[in-house]
Amino acid sequence: MPQYAVIDPSTGETVRTFDSIADEELRAAIGTAHEAHQTWSRSTTIEERAAIIRRVAELHIERREKLAEIIVQEMGKTTEAALGEVDFAADIYSYYADNAAEFLKDEQIELRDGGGDAFIRRSSLGVLLGIMPWNFPYYQVARFAGPNIIIGNTILLKHAEQCPESALAIEEIFADAGAPRGAYTNIFATHDQIADVIADPRVQGVSLTGSERAGGAVAELAGRHLKKVVLELGGSDPFILFSTDDLDATVEAAVNARLDNNGQACNAAKRFIVIDDLYDAFVEKFTRAMTAVQPADPKAEGTILGPLSSAAAAERLQEQLDRAAEQGATVLTSGERKDNYFPPAVLADVTPDMDAYREEFFGPVAQVYRVKDEDQAIKIANDTQFGLGSYVYTTDREQALRVADRIDAGMVWVNLVLGDAAELPFGGVKGSGSGRELGRFGADEFVNKKLIRIAG
């Protein structure tokens, strides 16, 4: 029975299905990746591997319209957002092609006794498994595969079940860029098969971007088999507003931070924590601005909010919203869901005894909180199992830095949203995962930091 399928979320139509990989074929893929690593990591230079990744970047740009079209149909991303994602993925590949040699150069260690020489030499680990999500089909792969292939690792990539065509398109790009057979291999594996891949002694590490549940299952398996693991999981990022010189601009940033990628981003702002004297004005403007954005055809020019990625996603979000209202939250604005088209909603009066206080809403639903001071704002911001990103808006730089130090999160953005870049590390703490991707740190996860000491 096909497990991988393209189901257009804007129509519900099943466009194409793909069979899962056979067990024998999967074992062969692991073997090919393992064999490829033996030559790929030892008989090629960093510069040669970087040249292939640079060509991967170029092919993303050359094929950007087709690549964007694929993910619009797979997960409902707007055309503008899809093109932006392809461009960002290309930028990530280019960034690592340009900087990998510097990141991987030998790191000298000053010996206290002055005798001889010591340094760290970075090298590849071997075959790595990437388990990727549906919400950013190209970007998520780029930040994992780009640096690791230049390092000399080889990649087995299991994409989300609803993203088979983008998965195949990426594999084709690597082949066309000159990557040898086994350097990058797409696998349409089942969950049971993935457990076998993690257990295989030829596989040295696994990176997963997904839910807390999936992260826990993968971490347990990886730990049992002593495999390095990087996890990028969920988030319920706070957006804290203390002061502003331009409330309208701040509201616009808040809406953008909540509705980016149809509201389906782990590091989207989801809880808006506003100081008392700005709360009423902010909520009035924010609610009006959220209501003004209604879901529409993702292929149409000017569409800001497309459908949610699937019927299951829409039903789950509706159930969360309904349950929040039943438990006493005030629904300041909402609309009527039509299939996967989910209109923005804003919740107020959410209290710690409600499910909504603890849950991640993966779609265009925002929560607003009134606070009396900085301490209360930080208390609410940190009162979550998540710790991915956070946003602080203030005209007081000292306050910004003070609050940034006190927030339990992997990232703090001050007076800006949607500021991700290839050179900036991405990752979280607590239930949001462990490890980092992007930037210099993204090239330092799946490496052997080998000490070499030479006597004087």
Residue type, 410: G
List 161, 165, 171, 266, catalytic entry: 266
Around Cβ 106, how many Cβ atoms within 10 Å? 11
Tokens of 16: 């194409």
Rounded to the nearest 10 degrees, the angle between the axes of helix 139-151 and helix 46-62 is 160
β-strand pairing of 14-18 with 4-7:
antiparallel
- Can 398 be counted among the known catalytic residues? no
Cα torsion 138, 144, 148, 150 to 10°: value is: 30
List 232, 359, 437, 445, catalytic entry: 232
H or E segment and range at residue 4: strand 4-7
* Nearest alpha-carbon partner for 205 in 163, 144, 159, 140: 144
- The string of DSSP letters for 348-371 reads E---TTSHHHHS---SSEEEEEEE
> How many CA atoms does the CB half-sphere of 129 hold within 13 Å?
32
- Specify the 3-state DSSP secondary structure of 26: helix
Task: Identify the residue whose tokens are 């497309």.
Answer: 306
DSSP-derived letter for residue 338 is: B
- Specify the 3-state DSSP secondary structure of 116: coil
Alpha carbon distance 1, 42 (integer Å): 41
φ, ψ (nearest 5 deg) of residue 452: -125, 120
CA angle 333, 339, 340 (to 5 degrees): 75
- Can 266 be counted among the known catalytic residues? yes
Beta bridge partners, 7, equal 14
* Nearest alpha-carbon partner for 330 in 345, 352, 315, 341: 345
- The string of DSSP letters for 426-443 reads B--SGGGEES-BSHHHHT
Around Cβ 257, how many Cβ atoms within 10 Å? 23
> How many CA atoms does the CB half-sphere of 247 hold within 13 Å?
15
Beta bridge partners, 193, equal none
Cα torsion 292, 296, 300, 302 to 10°: value is: 20
Residues recognised as catalytic: 232, 266
